[in-house]
Amino acid sequence: MKFRDALHAIDQPNVLHADVTTPWRTLLERKHFSDLSGNNINHPNDFGHRLYADVIGALFESSNDDQLAGDEPARALARVLLMGDSISIGYTPYVKTLLQGKAEVIHHRGNAGPSIRGLVHIDQWLGDRQWDIIHFNFGLWDMYGWEYLKDDRSPAAYEMRLEALVQRLKMTGAKLIWATTTPACPAPEISMKNRFSSEVIIAPALEQQYLDAATRVMKKHQIQVNDLHALVQPELEKYAIAPDNVHFKPAGRKLLANQVAETIATAIGELVE
């Protein structure tokens, strides 16, 4: 912490430092070190790298709020909000690159987590901007629980909350695109095992109940579906970090990003027409 405090001394106009130490220490109060480290020694994993990116990105946001809010030169670009958990956080940087010059792509701050969290924070994530397209998902947290392990996350409760979330999202007037939930891992999920001493395996039949619940809501409201589950399921072993991890290797994140970007680009073209 002394090194962190010393670095604050360099802050001055046009000179800032990215304080990763503080959020990292805060996360370690709630997470096991293995959840953040790629080698259990000194290298961050994908989640840790995203933390670095978020901290650095926040510096640019705070120094250029006008452009982030959509003022020139970005006014002519479609405004796209990506909403979801760490899966969407993982593919967001690639989507931004793929849609550069076509869209201003923003992922709300933080992890959307389960639909429970979504109902609490949806207004905050939407802000007061006029979004053209909202690409969204909730699902893995509803299945696994994590910090929400004791809440009612049944498929029926999940469907009811999705209905409420969709009703709120429709009020924005944006084109809505639902991303199906990427596959549950075949082995006991590692962070549930390490952090909560609980060996959780989501059976295919139960997973399908969640997928079907979401399908019913989206069909009812005629919302376009981007089927990311079908995209990665056939080659899950190839793209998943491990059999006990719901996250993806870089190649998997790029695969997801390509389909997300293509889907959004098509939607942008339809809006222009």
Report the pLDDT value the prediction gives residue 197, as an integer from 0 to 100.
84
Report the pLDDT value the prediction gives residue 25, as an integer from 0 to 100.
64
- E strand or H helix at 1, and its extent? none
Residue-wise pLDDT for 47-76, tens only, equals: 776 667 765 765 554 444 434 434 444 447
pTM: 0.74
Report the pLDDT value the prediction gives residue 62, as an integer from 0 to 100.
40
Report the pLDDT value the prediction gives residue 59, as an integer from 0 to 100.
54
Instruction: Walk across the sheet containing 78-83 and list its strands.
Output: 103-107, 78-83, 133-136, 175-179, 224-226
Residue-wise pLDDT for 7-38, tens only, equals: 544 444 445 556 666 666 656 656 676 777 76
- Look at residues 164, 148, 143, 140 and name the one whose alpha carbon lies nearest to residue 220: 164
Report the pLDDT value the prediction gives residue 38, as an integer from 0 to 100.
64
Query: Which stretches in the chain have pLDDT values below 70?
Result: 1-31, 33, 38-42, 49-51, 54-55, 57-75, 272-273
Q: Tell me the backbone φ, ψ of residue 207, rounded to 5 degrees.
A: -55, -40
List every span in the chain annotated with CATH 3.40.50.1110: 76-272
Sign of CA dihedral 66, 19, 138, 152: negative
Report the pLDDT value the prediction gives residue 67, as an integer from 0 to 100.
40
User: 76-272 has which fold?
Assistant: Rossmann fold (3.40.50)
How many residues can be counted in the chain? 273
